[in-house]
Chain A
Amino acid sequence: MIELKDFSFRYREGSEPVLKDVNLIIPDGSFVGITGAAGSGKSTLTYALNGIIPHCYPGDYYGSVTVNGKDVLETSLIDLSRMVGSVCQDIDSQFVSPAVEDEMLYGLENFGVPREEVEPRIDEALTSMGIADLRDRMIDSLSGGQKQKVAIASILELKPEVLVLDEPTAELDPASSLNVFKLLSRYASEHGTTVVVVEQKIALLAEFASLLVVIDQGKIRYADSPAAVLTHSDELLELGVNCPRSTTLSNRLRRAGLYRGPACRNVAEAADAVMEMLS
């Protein structure tokens, strides 16, 4: 379980706190989507989970963040990195090796993983992201989508209990974005991994997240199931979060008195709702 209690943080060079009085409980095995306007504090929240805050970015730190019972403030970055795996927003800044295989070996070697486990772990991670065939490739010869999957696989093989990803699909086309979320969600449910993902593509979060968190100016405005959060489509628009059109459709139909069900999260649910209305 991850717990943020009255957590606030101001970067040393900042004038205002970036996160203010954040309270959030993330149960084990959740798939958490974090969204909000640019500059709302989404990335800062991920730094608070993986320990980049306060260990790399100093500042004023109030309240507490605990990951699986360990206080992030009291736990070294090395110990945290064994629990929390992170995929950076800018994946090119994450790679340390020119070749995929070397990149995959880097984390395992640094964690001192026994030799006989190395091979099966690399295999499993590459296979689970559907990129077993990329093992011998040079990283700079890969497409954006392929790189993204390598970056994720190189963290999955470390078997983190919590996986934190900052906009993992920003550079990807819609089909590749969907594919990354499918692979992630399957891996997480098979391994009981908690996933925390910052994402602008709300349609993906609506579909895959078990908990949807909306941040606005450093405060949590909503933290609930996607269907419950998406009911507030007008308020979300004001916060700079656009709902999937399926949701906007079901909300408008509810206002017109034509629909009484929960907010639709995707095309299939909206099509169900429309068919029911027509029958």
Chain B
Amino acid sequence: MIEFRDVHASYGGGLPVLRGVSFTIEDGEFVAFAGTNGAGKSTTMRLINGLLKPDQGEVLLDGTPTTQLKVSETARRVGFLFQNPDSQICCNTVHDELAFGFKAQGLLDDEAEGRIESIASILKLDLSADPFLLNRGSRQLLALASIAVMETPVLVLDEPTTGLDYHECCAVMDLIGQMHEKGATVVMVCHDMEVVADYAERLIVMNAGQVVDSGPTFTVLRNFSTVETASLVPPQIVGISLACARRDPGLAGTPVASANTLDEMVGALEAAAQEGRRSA
């Protein structure tokens, strides 16, 4: 469990970046964070993995404040994906990069080697390749693989899909989805609300260093004041559904007015068309 209790944070005592943030994330949840550039999302991620300590308030990992945990203890619980894979990749081969976490913890044994080989083959990564000669999408995938291979109970991901094309984005999100299905708690900052809508169960929205909304993803994305305050762009199907409900208040309560996904919207319109044919 991850718990923030009235957390205030800044970099080196400068301008306050977080101003009283509180939330709880239960084990096994998939939670996304959204908000504009500068809202405090990345800072929140850094607090979870203990890279940054709060000025005031507490960040608790399974009940223990991060201030009382050693870096190695936090690292065993929390896998962290930086916004930029180049901030993370530090080895000369893909194999060494994937083995880095195990080595650092003195855990590089046959089982670890097995896991490294298996994840590399799933993601079609060449173990002997030089990470810095890979393209951006593959570097992102490698950075993610190097934390996924550690199978930490918590994954903290800062904009895992930024700058990736569609196929690369799918590869990255599929892997994250699989980790979540295996039981990992996933905490992800993401600007792409289509990705958030497809994967996250809960959405926490931040603005100017504070949490402005938190709840089931679609409930939050359908909240007009949240969307306005945090300048979110809701997923397009939600946008279409809301626009139709605004234009015809008579649609309230119909499947079209509550459709969140492509399948739901197509289904609602097919049903409406059948209904129309029957009454005609």
Contacts and interface: CB of A to CB of B under 8 A. Distances in A.
B71 interface: no
B236 A244 contact: yes
A143 B240 contact: no
Q: Which 9 A-B pairs have the closest CB atoms?
A: A175-B231, A271-B243, A245-B236, A267-B239, A174-B233, A242-B166, A240-B167, A37-B165, A38-B165
A271 B244 CA distance: 6
B108 interface: no
Given A39-B135, A200-B165, A248 B262 contact: yes
A174 B191 contact: yes
Contact of A253 (B232, B236, B266): B266
Contacts of B135: 38-39
Interface stretch (B48-56, B97-105, B110-118, B268-276): B268-276
B265 interface: yes
Interface stretch (A8-16, A54-62, A165-173): A165-173
A277 B269 contact: yes
Interface of A: 36-39, 143-145, 167, 170-176, 178, 200, 203, 237, 240-242, 244-246, 248-249, 252-253, 256, 258, 266-268, 270-271, 274-275, 277-278
Which residue, of B35, B194, B233, B251, has the highest number of chain A Cβ atoms within 10 A?
Answer: B233
Given A37-B165, A38-B164, A275 B236 contact: no
B36 interface: yes
B213 interface: no
A240 B36 contact: no
Interface of B: 35-38, 135-137, 162-169, 191-194, 231-233, 235-237, 239-240, 243-244, 247-248, 251, 256, 262, 265-266, 269-270, 272-273
Given A176-B37, A258-B273, A270-B240, A170 B266 contact: no
Chain B interface main SS type: helix
A201 to B, nearest CB: 9
19 contacts: A37-B166, A38-B137, A39-B135, A167-B163, A171-B37, A174-B192, A174-B232, A175-B231, A176-B36, A200-B163, A203-B236, A244-B236, A246-B240, A248-B262, A252-B262, A258-B269, A271-B244, A275-B247, A278-B244
Given A175-B232, A249-B240, A252-B262, 13 more contacts: A38-B137, A39-B135, A170-B163, A173-B37, A173-B231, A175-B36, A240-B167, A240-B168, A242-B166, A245-B194, A245-B236, A245-B262, A271-B247
Contacts of A176: 36-37
Contacts of B248: 275, 278
A208 B194 CA distance: 20
A175 B194 CA distance: 14
Contacts of B240: 246, 249, 267, 270-271, 274
A83 B272 CA distance: 55
A171 to B, nearest CB: 7
B272 A277 contact: yes
Contact of B265 (A37, A145, A249, A266): A249
Contacts of B167: 37, 240
Contacts of A170: 162-163
Contacts of A245: 194, 235-237, 262
Contacts of A256: 266, 270
Given A173-B191, A268-B243, A274-B244, A38 B168 contact: yes
Nearest to B166: A242
B115 to A, nearest CB: 27
Contacts of A242: 166, 169
Nearest to A245: B236
Contacts of A258: 269-270, 273
A252 to B, nearest CB: 5
A169 B244 CA distance: 29
A140 B135 CA distance: 27
A237 B165 CA distance: 11
Contacts of A145: 37
A182 to B, nearest CB: 13
From B162, B167, B193, name the one whose CB has the most chain A CB atoms within 10 angstroms.
Answer: B167
B236 to A, nearest CB: 4
A194 B132 CA distance: 36
Q: Which of B135, B244, B248, B251 has the most CB of A within 10 A?
A: B244
Nearest to A237: B166
